[in-house]
Amino acid sequence: MDPPTEVIAPVDDYDDEYEDYDDEYYEDDDYYDDEDEQPAPPPDSTARKTVRTIGELLITAGLVILLFVVYEVYVTDLISAGKQDDATQALDDQWSSNTVATDPQREVKYDLLDGQAFAKMYIPVFGPDYKFSVVEGTTDKDLEIGPGHYKGTALPGEPGNFSVAGHRVGKGAPFNDLDLLNSCDAIVVETQTQWFVYRVLPMAGEAAGWAEKQANPKCAKVSPLGAPYDKTVGQEIVLPTQGEVISQVPHFTGEVPAAQQAALMTLTTCHPRFSDRQRLIVHAVLTMSYPKAPDFVPEEMKES
Amino acid sequence: MYPWIWRHLPGPLPVRILEAVVLVAGVVALLMFVVFPWAEPKLPFNNVTTPQ
């Protein structure tokens, strides 16, 4: 019977100690209250001021960088949307006032002025609201307005390589989702007189089983291009220095007569997103063209 | 820095708050319309072209 008694006794002791501790705690609290009422003036030394100012500057720098992200991702979109609207308006005015289109005997002539739109592009799989006016030139100023045509590369519908660069982040980000394009997806280009339907070429691994893919009506007129186009695939990621992706025959250094050149379209943008370490390239081939007519819209525009 | 600015704003509290808001808006506008457009092309993360 003795051991239980011994066990109970220490517990009583502990309670007493706890009460004692409580008292002490309240005494401490009173002590701190007194100090709050009469705070000692903080020593406003030079060191203290310096540290405080550095802290404030660092917080400010962080806020400025956050603000820059907001600017880059949202505000440039707004600015570019205004410029894109202006360019589209100017193009519509030009198309409706210029009557060259009505005379089939006359050859189409593009008025290529830097920073001015000369064509519109649509990617129907990105939705019916995906449309951009393509401007001439690829300087920063041109690309702020919209996708820009590399000067000197082919024009829409021509044999060669109609090459267009566009932003992926901010500034309207026309090529934001370029990595989501699959083979055979349509890229429709509208000029003053014609509609051109380009379709993304087979991807690198798809050439082998292409016969099956061609059962898809979208792919009927798309097939891997033979030599000298053997390295030209639907999508590739290259180094920023690899300008050969927009040459007349991509990745091919020799001369190919214009008659033997395919009519390609190449889109370039930065990769990975928010970086310029690489370039994302999409190659497409001309599969169809229609003359423009009032109220006529190519059926490819309804694809999704 | 911020306490120093706050101490030097004239007027009663509501006026001071208004002044502070105007100051912040001015700095944000300066950044958005002058500093960022100037600095942005110098940063390398949005190059989308390849050489021709």
pLDDT along chain A (304 residues), means of 10: 56 50 50 58 81 94 94 90 94 80 60 89 93 93 93 91 92 91 93 92 86 85 85 92 90 84 93 87 93 88 85
The 3-state DSSP class for residue A288 equals strand
| Domains held by chain B: number | 1
Cα separation, A189 vs A134, in Å, equals 9
pLDDT, averaged across chain B: 89
Pairing state between β A263-271 and A235-238: unpaired
Tokens 């002025």, residue?
A113
Handedness of CA A132, A133, A137, A140 (dihedral sign): negative
Reported ipTM exceeds the 0.85 cut = yes
The residue ranges of every structural domain in chain A are 68-302
Give how far A206 is from chain B: nearest CA, Å: 26
The confidence score (pLDDT) of residue A1 equals 54
Nearest chain B residue to A173 by CA distance is B46
B residues 2-41 lying closer than 8 A (beta carbon) to A:
2, 28, 31-32, 36, 39-41
The 3-state DSSP class for residue A190 equals strand
The confidence score (pLDDT) of residue A221 equals 87
Q: What angle do CA A265, A231, A166 make, to 5 degrees?
A: 35
Give how far B23 is from chain A: nearest CA, Å: 14
The 3-state DSSP class for residue A286 equals strand
Range of the domain at B36: 2-41
Q: Taking the mean position of all CA atoms in its chain, how far away is CA A45?
A: 51
The confidence score (pLDDT) of residue A99 equals 63
The confidence score (pLDDT) of residue A166 equals 93
The confidence score (pLDDT) of residue A205 equals 84
The confidence score (pLDDT) of residue A45 equals 86
Q: Which long-range contacts (CB under 8 A, 24 or more apart) does A136-143 make?
A: A136/A112, A138/A165, A138/B49, A139/A114, A140/B41, A141/A115, A142/A114, A142/A115, A143/A167, A143/A171, A143/B48, A143/B49
Give chain A positions within 8 Å (CB) of B52: 150-153, 243, 246
Class of domain A68-302: mainly beta
Q: Which two tokens stand for residue A34?
A: 């007194």
Cα separation, A200 vs A184, in Å, equals 5
Cα separation, A93 vs A88, in Å, equals 9
**Number of residue pairs across A and B with CB atoms under 8 Å?**
75
Per DSSP, the residues of A52-85 read: HHHHHHHHHHHHHHHHHHHIIIIIHHHHHHHHHH
Q: CB of A98 within 8 A of CB of A109? A: no
CA atoms within 13 Å, Cβ hemisphere of B51: 4
Distances (CA, A) of A79 to A83, B31, B33, B47: 7, 15, 11, 18
Cα separation, B27 vs B34, in Å, equals 10
Q: CB of A133 within 8 A of CB of A120? A: yes
At A19, which helix (H) or strand (E)? helix A2-37
In a domain, B46, yes or no: no
The confidence score (pLDDT) of residue A126 equals 93
First to last CA, chain B: 50
In a domain, B49, yes or no: no
Distances (CA, A) of A141 to A137, A147, A226: 9, 11, 38
The confidence score (pLDDT) of residue A92 equals 92
In a domain, B48, yes or no: no
Of A194, A154, A144, which Cα lies nearest the Cα of A284?
A: A154
Interface check A162 vs B, CB under 8 A: no
What contacts A8, CB < 8 A, 6 or more positions away?
none
